[in-house]
Amino acid sequence: MLNYIGIDVYDCWSFYWKYDVATHAVCCAHLLRELTGIKENHPEQTWASKMIELLLDMKK
């Protein structure tokens, strides 16, 4: 993995952010799951619902 150069797409596990030789991207399915958790557990964080809507609109 030390010679890898490219884009890593993965879940939100913080361990992956330690790889500093690659460009990082979070899997949209995992990102939606994280945002849904924020929306359900912290309803005062209204930005999470807006981000979910934006991601789903971009998918269309």
Task: Answer whether residue 52 is part of any domain.
Answer: yes
In whole angstroms, give the CA distance from residue 46 to residue 56. Answer: 16
Residue 17 has pLDDT above 80, yes or no: no
Rounded mean pLDDT of 22-30? 83
Is residue 1 in some structural domain? no
In a domain, 2, yes or no: no
Burial class (CB in 10 A: 0-12, 13-18, 19+), 38: middle
What is the residue range of 42's domain? 7-59
Q: Which H helix or E strand runs over 42?
A: none
What's the total number of domains in the chain?
Answer: 1
**Range of lowest pLDDT (1-5, 30-34, 53-57):** 1-5
Q: pTM higher than 0.85, yes or no? A: no
Please tell me the distance from the alpha carbon of residue 41 to that of residue 18, in angstroms, as a whole number: 28
- In a domain? residue 29: yes
